[in-house]
Amino acid sequence: MTAHRKHHPRSCIQRVTLQREEGGKGIIDISNLHNKQIISLRKFFFDRAQHSTLHSIVTQSDTRLTPLNLHDRNQQRNENITDTKDKITAWQRKSLHGRHRHDLQLPHVDKKASNAWLLRGELFPETEAFMIAIQDQVIDTKNYQKHIIRRSNTTTDFCRHCHSSSETIQHITGACKSIAQTDYKHRHDQVAAIIHQYIAFKHKFISEKQPYYKYKPQSVFENDSYRIYWDRTIITDKTVHYNRPDITVLDKHNKSVTLIDIAICNTHNLLTTHTDKTTKYTDLSVEIKTQWQVHNVKTVPIILSTTGVIPKTLHASLRALDIHPSAYTLLQKAVILNTCRIVRKFLSMS
């Protein structure tokens, strides 16, 4: 698997045979399969030995002649079965690999949805293995070289691009200022385009959907019932610092406005980002109410982790926009593919 890039050599080994709903690859555990067969065969011979002379003689004679070692009725080492709980415990105990597992256990994280990309199996095995390595934080960053594997020729762990922070995997996936307006923006815009296409299709501005990476949102959609702005500054009488939501939807009949803001942040920032996005447009909401003469202005944040971790608030946001609950799977796929692309591109640059 390592030779064919299906498993990173430093990734958590327990995840290889863990079920996909628990965050693993779901590959059959050959050791457990072998040990179960040993247990079954030993039981068969011991039971038959009570009634069959032949089986009794075989049982007496097998002193380490076969892997069954039938002469010794004590439990053998090859009868040990490692169950799912033991594998998860071993994964959690690892100080580096276990961080992602701890993230999945947080009360504001939807573990089932966060592992949905593994269950769907839509990605190439190489991409799947690379994202698992990112989650396990074993990517060859300068911080990893200097502090984890202690490579002698790595003298500093500062980022090779911005030179201002330690080059951790979290820094690469969501905190490097030098790629904020290029790679991060591209990932952000693809997620925003998915939401925009759902809304445009629902309100019949477009007749059919297309792959999200081909969809180019128009700056303005308008009919008798709705007006949709894409990444447009809202002009107000008073100066408002945050006046450019990613998507603005005006419902003319109900006289309501929905401000949609997208954020792809590192997992440890999910809660704070949601709070920031919720309060960010408070001043703008007041101005829109007065100028556009609407009854209600609400802010709907769409927030995902850079590694595909889904917060429970995302489901509430999709319900608020009347978007199908399964839409998060497409958002998750777009984020994971773009994060893998960002990390590969980042590491390929000297």
65-79, 106-120, 185-199, range with the lowest pLDDT: 65-79
Tell which residue, 98, 116, 81, has the closest CA to residue 15. 98
Give the tens place of pLDDT for each residue, 156-177. 999 999 999 999 999 999 999 9
Helices (H), 50-163: 53-61, 84-93, 98-104, 111-114, 116-120, 125-135, 142-143
What's the pLDDT band for 44 if we cut at 50, 70, 90? very high
What is the pairing mode between strands 226-230 and 256-265?
Answer: unpaired
For the chain, the domains span 30-79, 139-175, 179-348
Q: In terms of C-beta density within 10 A (0-12 exposed, 13-18 middle, 19 or more buried), how is residue 181 classed?
A: exposed
Tokens, residue 92: 């959690």
Give the tens place of pLDDT for each residue, 83-136. 999 999 999 999 999 999 999 999 999 999 999 999 999 999 999 999 999 999
Write the CB contacts of 304 (distance below 8 Å, at least 6 apart in sequence). 191, 263, 264, 310, 311, 314, 328, 331, 332, 335
Residue 121 vs residues 20, 24, 124, 239, 244: alpha-carbon distances, Å: 9, 12, 8, 48, 36
Query: What pLDDT score was predicted for residue 282?
Result: 94
Helix (H) or strand (E) holding 269: none
Residue 300 to residue 314: CA distance in whole angstroms:
9
Residue 18 Cα to chain centre, angstroms = 17
18-27, 110-119, 146-155, 280-289, range with the lowest pLDDT: 146-155
What's the pLDDT band for 350 if we cut at 50, 70, 90? low
What's the pLDDT band for 221 if we cut at 50, 70, 90? very high
Q: In terms of C-beta density within 10 A (0-12 exposed, 13-18 middle, 19 or more buried), how is residue 26 classed?
A: middle
Strands (E), the chain: 220-222, 226-230, 247-251, 256-265, 296-305
Residue 139 to residue 107: CA distance in whole angstroms:
27
Query: What pLDDT score was predicted for residue 36?
Result: 94
Helix (H) or strand (E) holding 290: helix 282-292
Average pLDDT over residues 139-149: 93
The full DSSP string for 107-124 is: TTB-HHHHTHHHHHT-S-
Give the tens place of pLDDT for each residue, 278-320. 999 999 999 999 999 999 999 999 999 999 999 999 999 999 9
Residue with tokens 């990309």: 117
What's the pLDDT band for 349 if we cut at 50, 70, 90? confident
Write the CB contacts of 110 (distance below 8 Å, at least 6 apart in sequence). 310, 311, 312, 314, 315
Give yes or no for a contact between 304 and 264, defined as CB atoms under 8 angstroms apart.
Answer: yes
Three-class SS state of 261: strand
Residue 135 to residue 119: CA distance in whole angstroms:
16
Tokens, residue 291: 């100028």
Query: What pLDDT score was predicted for residue 154?
Result: 86
Residue 181's φ and ψ, nearest 5 degrees, are: -90, 5
Query: What pLDDT score was predicted for residue 187?
Result: 97
Query: What pLDDT score was predicted for residue 258?
Result: 97
Residue 216 Cα to chain centre, angstroms = 25
Give yes or no for a contact between 313 and 271, defined as CB atoms under 8 angstroms apart.
Answer: no
Helix (H) or strand (E) holding 345: helix 327-348
